[in-house]
Amino acid sequence: MKKLAHRGYSAKYPENTMEAFIKAYEQGFDGVETDVHLTLDDELVLIHDEKINRTSTGKGYVKDHTLKELRNYNFNYKVNDFNDNNKLHRYQENFLCLSFLFKNYSMNI
């Protein structure tokens, strides 16, 4: 049985961020579970909710924003002790990076 980190290591790090995925691997998880949504400009992005209200400083549906607009919002502002500004990542950026770093790592979408 595989142990998957829901939205990455979201108990301690901003969910669906590269940081949360890497920390999940470092903590011994076998992979991550995440969700994919399509932006207004047809980019696939990793985010759980259809709306960005809960996890970012922005408001509205993912599908109503371009990737450039979404990257203007802070996606870790609700997590304590994080001063860096985690941006929303395209599916390809996360998948390629994780598959390069962790050869046997799995991602459940």
First to last CA, the chain: 17
d(C-alpha 73, C-alpha 26), whole Å: 27
C-alpha dihedral sign at 6, 11, 15, 18: negative
Q: Long-range contact list for 83-86, CB < 8 A, 24+ apart?
A: 86/14, 86/17, 86/18, 86/19
* Residues with active-site annotation: 6, 48
